[in-house]
Amino acid sequence: SGYTVEASLDSTGNVIRTPVPETSGDENVVAPFAKAFSPNGGLKVLTGNLGKAVIKISAVAKERHIIEAPARVFHSQEDFLAAFSNKEFTGDVAAVVRFMGPKACGMPELHKLTPALGILQDRGHKVALITDGRMSGASGKIPAAIHLTPEAADGGPVALIRDGDMIRVDAITGELAVMVEDAELAARTPATQDMSAHHAGVGRDLFAAFRANVGSADTGAHVFDA
């Protein structure tokens, strides 16, 4: 229905509700239709031989809407941050953080990745993030293909990626792909990961049945059918 009523307090502390002005008080905050921030929405779906993901492009510079870079594969954001602290990134990188999906470990927020990736990008490197994990808008200026499905723990092709594979993230055409021949991918053994540390303690064992039956991220990662 839109933002139509403004709530405020009167001189006695009571809440009053008044219609909002017909014109915006600051068009940099609320823009009129004729001066829209963008002709398109800020989210886009990516598809390709890695499955399906979503990317937020509203804060990503146009020159970074297409990224091709070699993969570095990690199984946690902490492993990525350790590599960053060890100064292992000296060029372009497509950081693949897998086994972070709903079946693997409940699809945690991966906001710790953004500052380090932003630093690498500011150094002039081509940078992208590919993950079956979740980001609630925290990707910022980084081209990030997130919520990738099928996830690694559910047999997704992201489990076939190896260090050095070239990854293409194209927010213009909507392509997400590992640039490896189909026959070679099919011959690879999927990576596995011991997720038991994520499944015990602090009530996590209680939710084992939910993890086992959870749906894919692109269908809402729900357990119960409507």
Same domain, 88 and 177: yes
Tally the domains of the chain: 2
Same domain, 84 and 156: yes
pLDDT for the residue 59: 87
Among the listed ranges 32-41, 44-53, 88-97, 134-143, which one has the minimum average pLDDT value? Answer: 32-41
Same domain, 124 and 16: no
The CA distance from 208 to 213, in Å, is 9
Same domain, 129 and 94: yes
Same domain, 88 and 11: no
Same domain, 118 and 137: yes
The CA distance from 179 to 49, in Å, is 9
CATH code of the domain covering residue 91: 3.50.30.80
Bridge partner list, 73: 96
Phi, psi of 65 (to 5 degrees): -75, -15
- Does any domain span residue 224? no
Question: What is Dmax (Cα atoms) for the chain?
Answer: 74
Alpha helices by DSSP H, listed for the chain, are: 77-85, 102-105, 113-122, 182-187, 208-213
Cβ-contact 187, 162 below 8 angstroms: no
How far is CA 193 from its chain centroid? 20
pLDDT for the residue 150: 96
Same domain, 20 and 72: no
Same domain, 194 and 170: yes
pLDDT digits (tens, 9 = 90+) for 26-79: 888 888 888 887 777 789 999 999 999 999 998 899 999 999 999 999 999 999
pLDDT classification of 1: cutoffs 50, 70, 90: very low
- Does any domain span residue 65? yes
**Structural domain that includes position 10:** 5-35
Cβ-contact 156, 122 below 8 angstroms: no
Q: pTM surpassing 0.85?
A: no
Cβ-contact 98, 191 below 8 angstroms: yes
Same domain, 64 and 99: yes
- Does any domain span residue 185? yes
Locate the DSSP E strands across 2-126.
5-9, 15-19, 43-48, 51-56, 66-74, 93-97
- Average pLDDT along the chain: 90
Same domain, 30 and 56: no
Phi-psi region at 100: left, alpha or beta (left = phi > 0; alpha = psi -120 to 50): alpha
Other beta carbons within 10 Å of 64: 17
Same domain, 28 and 93: no
| Contacts for 203-209: CB closer than 8 Å, 24+ residues apart | 204/106, 207/106
Same domain, 79 and 121: yes
pLDDT classification of 225: cutoffs 50, 70, 90: low
pLDDT at 169 over 70: yes
Both tokens assigned to 14: 């009571």
Closest CA to 74 of 97, 56, 58, 52: 97
pLDDT at 2 over 80: no
